[in-house]
Amino acid sequence: MSENIIKIKITDREGKQHEVEAPTDMNFNLMEICQAAGLPVKGTCGGMALCASCHCYVLSNHELKEPSEDEEDMLDQAFYVEDNSRLGCQIAISNDIDGLEVQLALVDDED
């Protein structure tokens, strides 16, 4: 396998776990990887930390980059926020997060 591929485990809102592979050299973020894997993550704002449709919980102990002010502001307004809440679009796919485990947060509406 290429060195530029990492594995991420994503638990969907039905509790089913998906192991997905993500390239680290294409500037993807976790929201985009969820979408590429066919998971129901809307990414309405296109990854600008403005919609929270990519809200997820980080289950593994990876040291992620601190959330930006924009991300924290958005999480302040989101539903079902927990201590381990992050916005998937603000998590860059890099070798540092190989083996990351996340769970998709519930969304407040399904329109």
User: In the complex, which residues of this chain contact ligand FES (CB under 6 A)?
Assistant: 31, 43-45, 47, 49-54, 74, 87, 89
Closest distance to ligand FES from the beta carbon of 77 (Å): 11
Question: 87 - beta bridge partners?
Answer: 55
Nearest CB to ligand FES, comparing residues 4 and 79: 79
Nearest CB to ligand FES, comparing residues 55 and 101: 55
Report CA-CA distances (Å) from 26 to 22, 23, 31, 48, 74.
9, 6, 14, 18, 25
- Give the number of other Cβ atoms within 10 Å of residue 109's Cβ: 6
Nearest CB to ligand FES, comparing residues 4 and 40: 40
Closest distance to ligand FES from the beta carbon of 41 (Å): 8
CB 106 within 8 A of CB 80: yes
